[in-house]
Each structure stands twice: as structure tokens, then as C-alpha cells.
């Protein structure tokens, strides 16, 4: 009995020891698993907090992007209005440019006509200068001829004065001769008691 009871006790002790060992191991494993889960939970909490912060930053970025997009839309609307105004101004400028080109064409045509008229006027001026040169030469010749004629007139006037003096002298001589003739005729008539000669007046 004692021999049988001793193995039973040993077996019981072995079973109890085995159970105690399993319980302790399970407790150790549980504690280890619980520690790992706690660490994972802490890590997940940190990750979740980081994700919340990132989400908050992302929402702020999204809000800023939306505000920027709204500003861009408003700027685009203003730009479209400005583009319309610029297009209208550009059309007006093109019209003015076309008018200016037309005026330039007319001015160039008028300038061409003016150049032709200027060339013709220059030719006329050249002809006129040539004519003036010829006329000046003729004037010089006429002035020389006039001077010669004036000299001849002066000479003729001097000759005329001389001739007039001769005429005056001859007339005086004629008067004297006629007076002498009358005296002779009178004396003849008184002395001869006859008619006067035919020469007597």
C-alpha cells in the first residue's frame, strides 16, 4: 500500500507541478501578450493622434486651396473681363492702325505727287535760271548798247549845239546881210532916182 500510494503521490505532485507550470507560463504569456497589446495600443493611439493632426493640417490646406481656388476664379473672371476690354481696345487700335495706314498711303501718294511737282519745279527753275542768265547777258548787252547810244546822243547833242550856234551865227549874218542890202537898195534908190534892182526887197 505504501508502495502504491507513493507513486500516486508522485504523480499527483507531478500533475500539480505541471498545472502550476502551465498556469505560470500562461500567465507569463498573457502578461507578455498584454504588454505587447498595450504597446501596440499606445502606438496606435500615437498614430491616430498623428493622423488627426495630419487630417487637421490637410483640412486647413484644403481650406487654403479652396480659398486660393476662389481667388483664382475671381481673378479669372476679372481677367476675362480684362481680356474682353483688351480685345475691344485691340480692335479699336487695329481700326486706328488701319486708318493710320490709309492716311499713310494717301500721304505717300501725295508725297510722290509733291516730289514729281518738285522735280518739275526744279526743272523749271533750271530753265528759268538759264533764261535769267540769257536775259542778264542781253541786259548787259543792252546796257552797253544804251551806254554807247547815250554817248552818241551826247555827241549829237554837242554837235547840235555847235550846229545851233552855227545857225544862230548864220542867221545873224543873214540879218546883217539883209540889213546891208536894204541900206544899199535905199541908197541906190536915192542916188540913182531909178527903180531898185531885182535883188532889193
Separation CA 173–CA 161 (nearest Å): 18
Position 147 scores a pLDDT of: 92
Position 140 scores a pLDDT of: 92
Position 1 scores a pLDDT of: 44
Residue appearing with cell numbers 505541471: 18
The residues, any chain, with a CB within 8 Å of residue 199's CB and separated by 6 or more, are 181, 185
Domain count, the chain: 1
In a domain, 191, yes or no: no
- How confident is the model over 26-73, as pLDDT tens digits? 565 556 666 667 777 788 888 888 888 888 888 888 888 888 888 888
In a domain, 15, yes or no: no
Q: Is the Cβ–Cβ distance between 180 and 199 less than 8 Å?
A: no
In a domain, 174, yes or no: yes
In a domain, 149, yes or no: yes
Separation CA 56–CA 64 (nearest Å): 12
Highest mean pLDDT among 9-18, 60-69, 186-195: 60-69
In a domain, 4, yes or no: no
- How confident is the model over 125-174, as pLDDT tens digits? 888 888 898 898 999 999 999 999 999 899 989 888 889 988 999 999 88
- Any long-range contacts for 117-125 (C-beta under 8 Å, 24+ apart)? none
Task: Find the domain containing 65 and state its range.
Answer: 25-179
The residues, any chain, with a CB within 8 Å of residue 182's CB and separated by 6 or more, are 200, 201
CA-nearest of 168, 197, 201 to 182 is: 201
Separation CA 123–CA 147 (nearest Å): 35
Separation CA 195–CA 186 (nearest Å): 10
Q: Is the Cβ–Cβ distance between 199 and 181 less than 8 Å?
A: yes
In a domain, 127, yes or no: yes
In a domain, 116, yes or no: yes
User: Does residue 19 surpass a pLDDT of 70?
Assistant: no
In a domain, 17, yes or no: no
Q: Is the Cβ–Cβ distance between 199 and 184 less than 8 Å?
A: no
Position 40 scores a pLDDT of: 79
- How confident is the model over 78-114, as pLDDT tens digits? 877 777 787 888 888 888 888 888 888 888 888 888 8
Task: Please tell me whether residue 1 adopts helix, strand or coil conformation.
Answer: coil
Amino acid at each position: 500500500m505504501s508502495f502504491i500510494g507513493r507513486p500516486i503521490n508522485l504523480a499527483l505532485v507531478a500533475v500539480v507541478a505541471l498545472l502550476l507550470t502551465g498556469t505560470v507560463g500562461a500567465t507569463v504569456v498573457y502578461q507578455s501578450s498584454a504588454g505587447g497589446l498595450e504597446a501596440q495600443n499606445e502606438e496606435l493611439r500615437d498614430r491616430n493622434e498623428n493622423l488627426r493632426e495630419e487630417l487637421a493640417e490637410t483640412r486647413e490646406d484644403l481650406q487654403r486651396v479652396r480659398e486660393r481656388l476662389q481667388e483664382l476664379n475671381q481673378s479669372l473672371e476679372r481677367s476675362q473681363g480684362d481680356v474682353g476690354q483688351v480685345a475691344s481696345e485691340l480692335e479699336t487700335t487695329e481700326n486706328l492702325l488701319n486708318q493710320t495706314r490709309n492716311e499713310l498711303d494717301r500721304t505717300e501718294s501725295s508725297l510722290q505727287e509733291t516730289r514729281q511737282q518738285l522735280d518739275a519745279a526744279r526743272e523749271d527753275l533750271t530753265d528759268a535760271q538759264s533764261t535769267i542768265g540769257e536775259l542778264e547777258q542781253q541786259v548787259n548787252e543792252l546796257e552797253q548798247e544804251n551806254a554807247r547810244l547815250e554817248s552818241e546822243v551826247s555827241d549829237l547833242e554837242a554837235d547840235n549845239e555847235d550846229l545851233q550856234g552855227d545857225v544862230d551865227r548864220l542867221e545873224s549874218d543873214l540879218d546883217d546881210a539883209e540889213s546891208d542890202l536894204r541900206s544899199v537898195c535905199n541908197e541906190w534908190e536915192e542916188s540913182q532916182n531909178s527903180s531898185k534892182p531885182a535883188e532889193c526887197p
